[in-house]
A and B are shown apart, each in its own frame.
Chain A
Amino acid sequence: MRRTWNRRDFLKTASAATLSAMAAGFPRRAGAESTEKLHATADTLIVLWMAGGMAHTETFDPKRYTPFEVGLNPDRVLSTFPAIDTVVDNIKISEGLENIATVMDRATLIRTYKAADLGFILHSRHQYHWHTGYEPPLSVAAPHIGSMIARTLGPLNPDVPAFIDIGQGFDNGEGEELKAFHTAGFLGSEYGPFFVPNPEEAQASVQPPKGMNQERFKARYKAYEQLVKESPVGDAMSGYQKDSLLRSMENAHRLLTSPAAKAFDLSLEPKEIYDRYNTGRFGLGCLLARRLTEAGARFIEVTTEYIPFKYWDTHEDGHTRQVELKKMIDAPIAQLVLDLEERGLLDRTLIVLASEFSRDMLTEGKPGAPVKNQVEVPPIINELKHYGMHRHFTDAGSVLMFGGGMKKGYLYGVTADERPCGAIEKPIDTTDLHATMYRAMGIPADLAYEIEKRPFYVTKDGLGKPDMDLFA
């Protein structure tokens, strides 16, 4: 499997827009000459996005377990699952994640991620913050971190889109808000996400439209080429924009017919491996992410999908739903780690599992900065639907990393054992978490692009500091 693409191939195949934008076009890097050259520890970044607020005490930071019983005092409940051992002596995680427990020796587990204080908690605002590094609202169309990476580093394999986003649809209740950060913003849509809402249908993303067979698809493109050639105004309108349009059409056609496009076809995966990933759309998204990493993708996000009150956004039935959620993520994530390791790719692929904030039974927001409660918690719990972490907690959260130069079998940060289970040692915020991720990819935290004659930094105001303690 080829993993190096030389400069000559890249220049031959990259679109005019990519080349010009990267070399000297808009938007320009601000202060490029002074940018430190960094040694990257990763070539590819995979974000596994647990959309909706993943409760840390129910997943990667289990606390005292209190089983359900009628008449339960909610203040006693910190975790609704017991802890289990992992292959790392000092790390326990929550029941339901037994497969991930077996690969914890390849992991760095951050337990002290702190989400920002944005007032009344709205998922889309925190998700915007996590994905762009900036708190909304902004006067600038901020790019997604995937777009920043695509713009700065370019594609790894020119035949594979640099930024691929798997699993998110936009037809749900907050679809319009989600669109706000699923974009390359001012960087231009050359660096925007290549969407694959459903990995089982990923192959359709690189095939002719429905109802059109390959023969008709090729004939149509051939006729187009002929019409371009025969156009009497062709030479008279020579110019950069015309060339970029024609080159983009050629590149699109090449992408759709290249061998790399086979990476999108999950049916080519041996059934035994396919079945290990197949816990649903997210699991198959992980499989697609692995195949795309092998094919040379630069940035991939696989989301469990944000739909208000669904998946991790547990406003009720938290415990019951966690059982299914953990089943959904456990085997595929472990398999992804093992498969990349087997293929010699894990060391240069950074996997980051994260969520916009955590959850707690009682605390909404964080101590010292509480916000309006969104979920009613009865003084005594008599029904299973009230048993779980339903409020939105921003004082701690778990981030799990694999590969990409991070330490192995490492525990970062400490949270309190009693409510509120916030970060008490080594907290890390979004800005520094991003700085760390960018650093792994060889991008300095103070890299900036010029927009409307002012710099826009990859981390907020260029102030992010990567925590080198996380690196091996």
Chain B
Amino acid sequence: MTAEQYLDALSSLTGTWQEDPQFSVPQKPVKKDETPPPPVTRAWRVKSDPLTRAMGRPNREQVTSRRQSVATALEAVEMTNGQTLATLLERGATNLAASPDISAPDLVSSLYLHALQRAATDREREIGVGIIGAPPGAEGIADLLWAISMLPEFQLIY
């Protein structure tokens, strides 16, 4: 995945989007009594940060005709301990943890379905529940989100 695809996928998974967009996009008109939907800011609209740069997002002043398709050690370091991703995952996990009355196994199943378009196996569900704790806590959810988003199955497009 490109940097932007990765971030958008995580945002879609957690319901927490990028902040501080640099470009406006036309908004769907909202009816008089309707509540406007929460803003959805895709990654292409925000400035590059250490995470996107490590993932190969080029500087916009230069024409770049391709991006690398192999992972790099620097990218992996940034994704392993970089604050940008950690903060994004924390926000996402807090959002998910606020969902009312969802059990740990159901949350793991839901994340696998949404992230990988398949059901978690029994063993994966067991590992996932072990990470997030019962009832699910924000820290554990952040760790599971991280683990799922680092899987080759998530990151590589086939």
- Residue positions of A touching B, CB distance < 8 A: 15-18, 20-21, 25-26, 137-141, 161, 176-177, 179-180, 183, 185-186, 188-190, 192, 194-195, 205-212, 216-217, 219-221, 223-224, 226-228, 230-234, 237, 239-242, 244-249, 251-253, 255-256, 452
Contact = CB atoms under 8 A, between A and B. Distances in A.
Interface in B126-153: 127-128, 130-131, 139, 143-144, 146-148, 150-153
A207 B77 CA distance: 10
Given A141-B58, A189-B53, A192-B53, A240 B70 contact: yes
A220 B89 CA distance: 13
A248 B152 contact: no
Shortest beta-carbon contacts, A-B, top 4 = A252-B76, A209-B86, A190-B72, A248-B76
A248 B73 contact: yes
Band of interface residues on B: 35 or more
A389 B139 CA distance: 54
Q: Is the interface of B mostly helix, strand, loop or mixed?
A: helix
Contact of B150 (A205, A249, A452): A249
Contact of A230 (B54, B56, B124): B124
A195 B75 CA distance: 12
B124 A227 contact: yes
Name the residue in A208, A223, A239, A452 with the highest tally of chain B Cβ atoms < 10 Å from its Cβ.
Answer: A223
Contact of A161 (B62, B74, B86): B74
B63 A139 contact: yes
B59 A206 contact: no
Contact of A16 (B61, B70, B121, B139): B70
B47 interface: yes
B14 to A, nearest CB: 17
Contacts of B64: 141, 186
A226 B146 CA distance: 13
Contacts of A242: 152, 156
Name the residue in B71, B73, B143 with the highest tally of chain A Cβ atoms < 10 Å from its Cβ.
Answer: B73
A180 B53 CA distance: 11
A174 to B, nearest CB: 12
B155 interface: yes
Nearest to B122: A230
Given A180-B61, A209-B82, A17 B71 contact: yes
Contacts of A188: 56, 68, 70, 72
Given A224-B150, A241-B69, A189 B50 contact: no
Contact of B62 (A15, A180, A231): A180
A424 to B, nearest CB: 37
A252 B77 contact: yes
Nearest to B80: A252
Contact of B81 (A26, A207, A227): A207
